[in-house]
Chains A and B, each alone.
Chain A
Amino acid sequence: MTRAHDLGGRPAGDIPEKDDAVVFHVGWHAKALALNLACGALGAWNIDASRFAREQLRDYATLSYYEKWMAGLANLLVERGVVSEAELAGEVAKAPRSDKSLHAGDVPSAIRKVIPYLRSSGPAPHFQVGDRVRTVPAPGAGHCRLPAYAAGRVGTIILSHGNHVLPNSNARFQGENPQPLYTVEFTAAELWGEAAEATGDAMSLDLWQPYMRPA
């Protein structure tokens, strides 16, 4: 598991185009985003699976942002049986409009529709605001949303969000497995030691209960 996407804390250069106000720089950027949104509406995968598809790309580090979105989409379409490899290679027979396809007239409501990730099922919270917790020693295999820089660190719970869909299982189509979600605050010194820029600065992450133990 390379976790090529897990960038927090790595050395890097200057941040590009900080005042940029252009939404889509070229037409294919817009198309890559819209194709992802339109295909998401087909219901063959969920948001965690789409993130997992992108972070698993063998060429993650060299593909540009929207290239990742297109490559992840193409892989998911095949993996979920929506499009065959032959069709992806160009052998496509014309078919009638699917009932599942997103119609232009439904776009405004689809974008504004609120589909929460909060669930009423799942375990009771083991922790409450103010509790000290230690994160597990390393991000789990698969789609785990614990960044490596915060693994095995001690923090304090500052917000409790109820039970949210767990990305680890949802990304693999193994069920939503809702788990208590907390915002956990870490001091800069805890995360970075002597490399921390300033005493008293803090970092917060949104972490599920299976990612932590009592400290």
Chain B
Amino acid sequence: MPHDHSEPHSLLPSDPELRARALETILVQKGLVDPAALSALIDTYQNEIGPQNGAQVVARSWLDPAFKARLLADATSAIAELGFEGRQGEHMVAVENTPEMHNMVVCTLCSCYPWPVLGIPPAWYKSDEYRARAVKEPRAVLAEFGVALLAGQKVRVWDSSAEVRYLVLPMRPAGSEGLNEAALAALVSRNAMIGTALAGTA
């Protein structure tokens, strides 16, 4: 597009709230968007699809070795066993933290994220700062998040550059023996499944 011609979006109000309203009005008037569908989409990602889904996957993997084996072999199918599948989770890979290896996930080019298990990515994951730094200085980033690595533990960063989506399986915390799936899931935060926290921490 030549630089002497404005991009079409400049025809809309520049204030983002007014811009959203204008876009909605235009699209609804033209019969292209159903306002009730917008509400349903927002409600789904606000209330139904979120990190509680991924936490259930992780808790199940801690309790059921056969499930964990399936999850590491074919995460998309294993996660679908729990009913979580669809948009932005079409090709899942689960990566397991061990005393030797800590995994963390980023998307340096945009904001790719496993929606069916973690929902909509948080603002920090989409921030320029995380996208810029996670690949070059993951240890500094982890320290900033308060993650203490074990002695000798290596770090592996997964940059989601295609339609493959990564779920980190954090290590099961000591002292969690005997807890049921729901209690274990409560120990698994969103950040722990991105790799910027450990299980059992907020």
Which residues does A use to contact B, with CB under 8 Å?
5-21, 23-28, 30-35, 37-39, 42, 47, 51, 54-58, 64-67, 70-75, 77-79, 82-83, 85, 87-90, 92-98, 100-104, 106-108, 110-118, 145-147, 149-150, 159, 161, 164-165, 167, 181, 183, 185, 191-192, 195, 197-198, 200-208
Contacts and interface: CB of A to CB of B under 8 A. Distances in A.
Contacts of A58: 3, 7
B123 interface: yes
Nearest to A118: B91
B24 A35 contact: yes
A201 B165 CA distance: 21
Contacts of A17: 122-124
B177 interface: no
A201 B110 contact: no
Given A98-B31, A183-B164, A201-B138, A35 B123 contact: no
Contact of B141 (A15, A27, A66, A107): A15
Contacts, number: 304
Given A34-B42, A96-B31, A149-B136, A28 B17 contact: yes
B174 interface: no
A5 B110 contact: yes
B37 A78 contact: no
Interface string B1-39: 101000111011000110111111111011111101111
Interface in B139-193: 139-141, 144-145, 154-164, 190-191
Contact of B8 (A75, A110, A183): A75
A96 B85 CA distance: 33
B44 A13 contact: no
Given A70-B9, A78-B8, A112-B85, A39 B136 contact: no
B133 A42 contact: no
B159 A203 contact: yes
A27 B21 CA distance: 10
Nearest to A71: B9
Contacts of B138: 197, 201
